[in-house]
Amino acid sequence: MPEGHTIHRLALDHEKALGGQVLKVSSPQGRFEEAARLDGLRLKRTEAHGKHLFYLFEKGLVLHVHLGLFGRYFSSKSPPTRVRPTTRLLLQGASRSFALVGPTACELLSPSRRRELLDRLGPDPLRPDADLAAVRAALARRKTPIGQILLDQSVIAGVGNVYRAEALLVAGIHPERPCKELTDQQVTTLWATLVRMLHDGVRDGRIITVAPEELPGPPSKIRRKEAVYVYGRRTCRRCEGPVSQLTSANRTLYACLACQTG
DNA sequence: TATGTATGGTAAG
DNA sequence: TTACCCTACATAA
């Protein structure tokens, strides 16, 4: 589930359902002991930066959540009827509850640690303040393959394995192209593609990169592999040619080398 | 019941 | 570069 779009969507949903309320906060699993410090405090707002989710409580307390590869939230009405024993964090509002399971991070963050964390993140295509010039500068400096750089959260924050494959396909860029060799136009296209895809992901609550007119039916009924051009596929949804599986940044990178010549 | 897989990241070597 | 952490779910047996 979790690339940047998931986190931003959670921030929106949770703020809408819980913002301004005094929450019940607990850790049924017991591994987040500091839950007790949040219990009974008012949630002011939420924030998403790349794949990092922040809950800003009164008294300046900040909860940081990172889903990692496995983490997910289960949403229910309040109070929840059934809570999994693996639930690290349970946020209970007046009418909605959210149970967090399997996160990489669930912790209270001091202002300085929060600052450190944010300083390590590159521009996030989902944030209006994202600095494209900074991305250009970072890319111009490196000979690292663009496919590898797209997963580097200190260069661009929020892109994961699905969006990297899909954005490179749509932009027509070969994943092994050294960053510094990309033209201004290619970087412009790639960034615009990421911005659009991630925004669509927030809106849809899932990853659908294939253009609406190319979909056989309504988005809600589209199966995973029909919703993307190359990720996890054997054939390219654009040209029907074979999809190559490369390895980059320790992850499988799907690419259509016929479509991605740039 | 067992196994494999996953949209991520960190710390150690 | 490797090892390791986090958990649910689909599929095989």
> Does the annotation count A107 as an active-site position?
no
CA of A50 to C1' of C10 (A): 29
Per residue of chain A (262 residues), give pLDDT as tens. 799 999 999 999 999 999 999 999 999 999 999 999 999 999 999 999 999 999 999 999 999 999 999 999 999 999 999 999 999 999 999 999 999 999 999 999 999 999 999 999 999 999 999 999 999 999 999 999 999 999 999 999 999 999 999 999 999 999 999 999 999 999 999 999 999 999 999 999 999 999 999 988 887 788 889 999 999 999 999 999 999 999 998 899 999 999 999 8
Cα–Cα distance measured from residue A243 to residue A237, given in angstroms and rounded to the nearest whole number: 9
Distances (CA, A) of A246 to A47, A174, A236: 34, 11, 15
Candidate list A15, A28, A51, A96, residue with the active-site label: A51
The C-alpha R_g of chain A, in whole angstroms, comes to 20
Residue A72's φ and ψ, nearest 5 degrees, are -160, 160
Query: What positions of strand B are covered by protein, i.e. any atom < 7 Å from a CB?
Result: 6-10
Task: Flag whether the pTM goes above 0.95.
Answer: yes
CA of A103 to C1' of B8 (A): 10
Residue A213 buriedness (CB in 10 A; 0-12 / 13-18 / 19+): exposed
Asked if residue A71 keeps its beta carbon closer than 7 A to nucleic acid strand C, the reply is: yes
Nearest to A211 by CA among A222, A258, A202: A222
Any bridge partners for residue A76, and if so which?
Answer: A97
Candidate list A24, A44, A238, A251, residue with the active-site label: A251
Query: What positions of strand C are covered by protein, i.e. any atom < 7 Å from a CB?
Result: 2-3, 5-8
